[in-house]
Amino acid sequence: MKHSGERQHFFDMLLRYSSEPDVYKREIMEKEIWDEFGVSRAVFVLDMSGFSQLTQRYGLVHYLSLVRRMQVTTEPIIHTYSGEVVKYEADNCFALFPDACEAIQAAMARVPESTSIEYDPVTFNVSGLTIEACSIRFRRRGDPGDS
85-138 confidence digits (pLDDT tens): 999 999 999 999 998 889 888 888 866 555 555 555 555 555 555 555 555 555
Q: Please state whether 50 falls in left (phi above 0), alpha (psi between -120 and 50) or beta.
A: left
Kindly give, in sequence order, each residue whose CB lies less than 8 Å from that of residue 80, ignoring residues fewer than 6 positions away.
106, 109
Query: 23: domain range?
Result: 4-37
Together in a domain, 105 and 131: no
Together in a domain, 55 and 105: yes
pLDDT in tens, 14-67: 999 999 999 999 999 999 999 999 888 888 888 887 888 888 888 999 989 989
pLDDT in tens, 59-94: 999 989 989 998 998 999 999 999 999 999 999 999
Together in a domain, 13 and 48: no
Considering the entire predicted model, what is its pTM?
Answer: 0.65
The number of distinct structural domains making up the chain is 3
